Chains A and B, each alone.
Chain A
Amino acid sequence: MQGAYMGKILRVNLTEKKVSESPLPEDYIRKYLGGRGIAARLLYDIMTPGTDPLSPDNKMVWGTGPLTGLPVQACSSGWVVTTKSPATGTYFRSRCVSNLGIMLKRSGYDFLIIEGKAESPTYIYIENGDVEFGDASSLWGTTTDLAEYIIKNHLIRNPRVETAVIGPAGERLVKYAIVQCGTRQLGRGGMGAIMGAKNLKAVAVYGDKPIPIANEDVLKELVKEQINQLSAAHGTKRMQRYGTAAIHTLINQIGDYPYKNFRSTYFPDHEKLNGEGRVRKTIRNAGCPNCIINCWKFTYVKEGPYAGAWVDGPEYETFCTFGGLLDISNLDATIAANQLADLYGIDTISAGITIGFAIEAFERGIITTKDTDGMVLRWRDEEVMMKLIKKIAFREGFGDLLAEGVKVASEKIGKGSEEFAPHIKGLELPAYDPRPVKAHGLGMVTSNIGGSHALGYGTQEVFGLPTPVDRYTLEGKGKLTKFNQDRLTWGECCIWCTFPTRSEWHKPDLLTKIVVAATGVDFGGFESALKIGERVWNVEKAFNVREGFDRRHDTLPARFLKEPIPDGPSKGQKFELEPLLDEYYQARGWDVATGLPTRGKLEELGLKDIADDLEKMGRLR
């Protein structure tokens, strides 16, 4: 018996207000497994190269994995969206861990494709296979929390509905607008702007259909072993206590911190702003259903100027981007800024990085108060951070420029500011400096979605897990990066939580057995899993190649290539781009000179049709 899949794709056309269903192709399950894999392939199939990401022709593929909604640890609420990003112009995948994925599956669908543009503000409601288009005119302009509340309690009148809503930033097409899903987000890459461009305020889903499991007894036994492995892992215990902020001190101590817009990699005041501080502010530990890790931390500010602020977080990235990156060491301010970003619907990483860039440009005299609506931009200024978050979200004055992200903002400002605008392919860098972590940095440079740490995290260099690797050496980093990317890609097909999977708190061979028990499909062991990951990576790469991307775009701003880190534990480090790229392309089996895929590699992966596509465009080597 095949389990874990619902077997259907739902397609919603907002322009025509039409809904259709199609079966989930059996061969796609075998080749791409599910989640990010099938969503990437579907997007490749249905998108026309050159499509404007903010046009009605852009598509969003919302995808669940076979493990979404199952009684398995560290996976059950995971889901993804693939689309073309307005921030990068590349393929994009955004990942979320809200219960919307579970509801989508229990409503009868593995995947949801959204296309077109509604005539007026609209929300979509999916309930057990029925789809309604609702009028969201009265919700247009509202913050994410209010929109969610009204949709659940007044329009649909079912508080168990799961929602994905945009705020004012998404409506205004801020290039890094997010989609708020309960207290979690579809972050990065402007997912909220795409919904805004489609006049789509929200997606709401409710379902109560059972999800089949192929071998339930076997699965139960395997999950017992999974719990044993996770319970024994030291990382699980630390994450239960500190959440993702557990790594804040480590990243600083290895000299990888994005202090003051990456001018330095060591934050002197880091002890005022770390995971222990968050423990003191945490009023509730939570997490995905069926997961013992419980990494979500609800924090609340009880007194002082930010009293009343609360957030599900801040996560590590936000600790930095609304904290040390701006030389801010007041956790209360970071919590309040995080809450504002969630309410307005902007990405905390991209917003913080963009603000940091603006402060440096101001400090250097490249921009002045004439450009900033009279504001003096300074480090360590919480008020500046709060004001700019609002200006960006509402595209007010100077915020309108920053709402375009650091790539576009630096190109418009000019005067050499491009050299210190931290992004890769238009996506703002995460809170790691690529210079002192060669594989981790290479993972960001070659990521199919631009400057993200999440697609190929160099755990071996940063945490020493599953086996330690020296972070400064160059040799072997191309191969290591390919392994990390393929592993995480497979994980997001299933859809495993990234943290315990990449550090192997639960072992890969156990995870592959769980997938087989749940689905009844013999996907093979970990070697086969890596092959699926590699195949999906190549589909994503082909999407980008079709859009004109190649080796020239796998790069970093001058700061990271030319300026040695001036101080701290990683003093003197630069990012050695060319030799790292050479080895990476070799490991991938791509053309080293251009970074383009080869027919041999694509055919080896069963992607002959994609090789033919690229050849017709003159984009195959």
Chain B
Amino acid sequence: MGKVSVKFYQDIRDAAGTSLAELEIEGPTPLPLFLKKLVGRFEKLKPLLENLQTEKAAVIVLVNGRAPIPISSEVLMGGEEISILPMVDGG
């Protein structure tokens, strides 16, 4: 058992309707499974969380500040901070 916090930024926050969420996990949880659980709670995130890490990706998902590559390689143990940010360029 553990908690994972999720921070939403910019238009992702608008879609989620909140800037922060905390979800419980039952032991080690692959990141894709966790994101499905997240979509279950925030339905409007579904289209945004499709096609991750492809050229069609709408968002960037960070776990403790780092993008796991591939997404499926990350297993959450509890205590992590996930950031979901819009796919951008600039600077």
Which of B9, B86, B91 is in CB contact (< 8 Å) with A315? Answer: B91
Write out the residue numbers on chain A whose beta carbons fall within 8 Å of the beta carbon of B86: 234, 238, 246
Write out the residue numbers on chain B whose beta carbons fall within 8 Å of the beta carbon of A245: 90
Per the bound structure, the CA–CA distance linking A249 and B57 in Å amounts to 18
Interface segment, A80-88, A464-472, A514-522, A523-531? A464-472
A-B contact pairs, 21 of them (CB 8 A): A234-B86, A235-B87, A235-B88, A238-B11, A238-B86, A238-B87, A246-B89, A247-B90, A250-B85, A253-B65, A253-B83, A463-B87, A467-B55, A468-B53, A468-B67, A468-B69, A469-B69, A470-B69, A472-B66, A569-B64, A569-B66
Write out the residue numbers on chain B whose beta carbons fall within 8 Å of the beta carbon of A68: none
Which of A276, A453, A502 is in CB contact (< 8 Å) with B89? Answer: A502
Write out the residue numbers on chain A whose beta carbons fall within 8 Å of the beta carbon of B53: 464, 467-468
Per the bound structure, the CA–CA distance linking A569 and B66 in Å amounts to 7
Write out the residue numbers on chain A whose beta carbons fall within 8 Å of the beta carbon of B4: none
Taking a contact as CB atoms under 8 Å apart, the answer to whether A453 and B62 are in contact is no
Write out the residue numbers on chain B whose beta carbons fall within 8 Å of the beta carbon of A464: 53, 57, 60, 67, 87
A299 touches B (CB below 8 Å): no
Taking a contact as CB atoms under 8 Å apart, the answer to whether A254 and B66 are in contact is yes
A99 touches B (CB below 8 Å): no
A34 touches B (CB below 8 Å): no
Per the bound structure, the CA–CA distance linking A247 and B60 in Å amounts to 11
Per the bound structure, the CA–CA distance linking A252 and B87 in Å amounts to 14
Taking a contact as CB atoms under 8 Å apart, the answer to whether B10 and A234 are in contact is no
B45 touches A (CB below 8 Å): no
Per the bound structure, the CA–CA distance linking A312 and B37 in Å amounts to 42
Write out the residue numbers on chain A whose beta carbons fall within 8 Å of the beta carbon of B57: 234, 464
Taking a contact as CB atoms under 8 Å apart, the answer to whether B91 and A253 are in contact is no
Write out the residue numbers on chain B whose beta carbons fall within 8 Å of the beta carbon of A431: 91
The 7 closest A-B pairs by CB, nearest first: A569-B65, A244-B90, A316-B91, A246-B88, A503-B89, A247-B90, A499-B89
Taking a contact as CB atoms under 8 Å apart, the answer to whether B87 and A234 are in contact is yes
Per the bound structure, the CA–CA distance linking A275 and B13 in Å amounts to 14
Q: How far is the CB of A467 from chain B (nearest CB, A)?
A: 8
Q: How far is the CB of B54 from chain A (nearest CB, A)?
A: 8
Write out the residue numbers on chain B whose beta carbons fall within 8 Å of the beta carbon of A430: 91
- When C-beta atoms are compared, the residue in chain A nearest to B91 turns out to be A316
Per the bound structure, the CA–CA distance linking A431 and B91 in Å amounts to 8
Taking a contact as CB atoms under 8 Å apart, the answer to whether A253 and B62 are in contact is yes
- When C-beta atoms are compared, the residue in chain B nearest to A499 turns out to be B89
Per the bound structure, the CA–CA distance linking A505 and B89 in Å amounts to 10
Chain A interface bracket (under 10, 10 to 19, 20 to 34, 35 or more): 35 or more
Interface residues of B in 65-91 (CB under 8 A from A): 65-67, 69, 83, 85-91
Q: How far is the CB of A338 from chain B (nearest CB, A)?
A: 15
A255 touches B (CB below 8 Å): yes
Which of A254, A432, A468 is in CB contact (< 8 Å) with B65? Answer: A254
Write out the residue numbers on chain A whose beta carbons fall within 8 Å of the beta carbon of B11: 238, 241
Q: Mark B46-67, 1 if CB is under 8 A from A, else 0.
A: 0000000101111010101111
The residues of A with any CB-CB pair to B shorter than 8 Å are 234-235, 238-239, 241-247, 249-251, 253-255, 275-276, 295, 315-317, 430-432, 453, 459, 463-472, 499-500, 502-505, 568-570
Per the bound structure, the CA–CA distance linking A316 and B91 in Å amounts to 5
Taking a contact as CB atoms under 8 Å apart, the answer to whether A463 and B89 are in contact is yes
Write out the residue numbers on chain A whose beta carbons fall within 8 Å of the beta carbon of B56: 234
Per the bound structure, the CA–CA distance linking A295 and B91 in Å amounts to 11
Taking a contact as CB atoms under 8 Å apart, the answer to whether B10 and A276 are in contact is yes
Per the bound structure, the CA–CA distance linking A470 and B65 in Å amounts to 12
Write out the residue numbers on chain A whose beta carbons fall within 8 Å of the beta carbon of B89: 235, 239, 246-247, 459, 463, 465, 499-500, 502-503, 505
Taking a contact as CB atoms under 8 Å apart, the answer to whether B91 and A255 are in contact is no
- When C-beta atoms are compared, the residue in chain A nearest to B81 turns out to be A569
Write out the residue numbers on chain B whose beta carbons fall within 8 Å of the beta carbon of A317: 91
Once A234-B58, A238-B10 are accepted as A-B contacts, the answer to whether A250 and B88 lie under 8 Å apart by CB is yes
Write out the residue numbers on chain A whose beta carbons fall within 8 Å of the beta carbon of B69: 468-470
- When C-beta atoms are compared, the residue in chain B nearest to A454 turns out to be B91
Per the bound structure, the CA–CA distance linking A316 and B7 in Å amounts to 21
Taking a contact as CB atoms under 8 Å apart, the answer to whether A568 and B58 are in contact is no
Once A275-B10, A466-B55 are accepted as A-B contacts, the answer to whether A239 and B64 lie under 8 Å apart by CB is no
Q: How far is the CB of B78 from chain A (nearest CB, A)?
A: 18
Per the bound structure, the CA–CA distance linking A432 and B90 in Å amounts to 12
Per the bound structure, the CA–CA distance linking A467 and B51 in Å amounts to 12
Q: How far is the CB of A432 from chain B (nearest CB, A)?
A: 8
Q: How far is the CB of A277 from chain B (nearest CB, A)?
A: 11
Per the bound structure, the CA–CA distance linking A250 and B77 in Å amounts to 24
Write out the residue numbers on chain A whose beta carbons fall within 8 Å of the beta carbon of B87: 234-235, 238, 463-465
Greatest chain B CB density within 10 A among A275, A431, A568 is at A275
Once A276-B10, A470-B69 are accepted as A-B contacts, the answer to whether A238 and B88 lie under 8 Å apart by CB is yes
Write out the residue numbers on chain B whose beta carbons fall within 8 Å of the beta carbon of A463: 60, 87-89
Taking a contact as CB atoms under 8 Å apart, the answer to whether A453 and B91 are in contact is yes
Write out the residue numbers on chain A whose beta carbons fall within 8 Å of the beta carbon of B83: 253
Write out the residue numbers on chain B whose beta carbons fall within 8 Å of the beta carbon of A315: 90-91
Taking a contact as CB atoms under 8 Å apart, the answer to whether B85 and A255 are in contact is no
Write out the residue numbers on chain B whose beta carbons fall within 8 Å of the beta carbon of A255: 65
Write out the residue numbers on chain A whose beta carbons fall within 8 Å of the beta carbon of B88: 235, 238-239, 242, 246-247, 250, 463
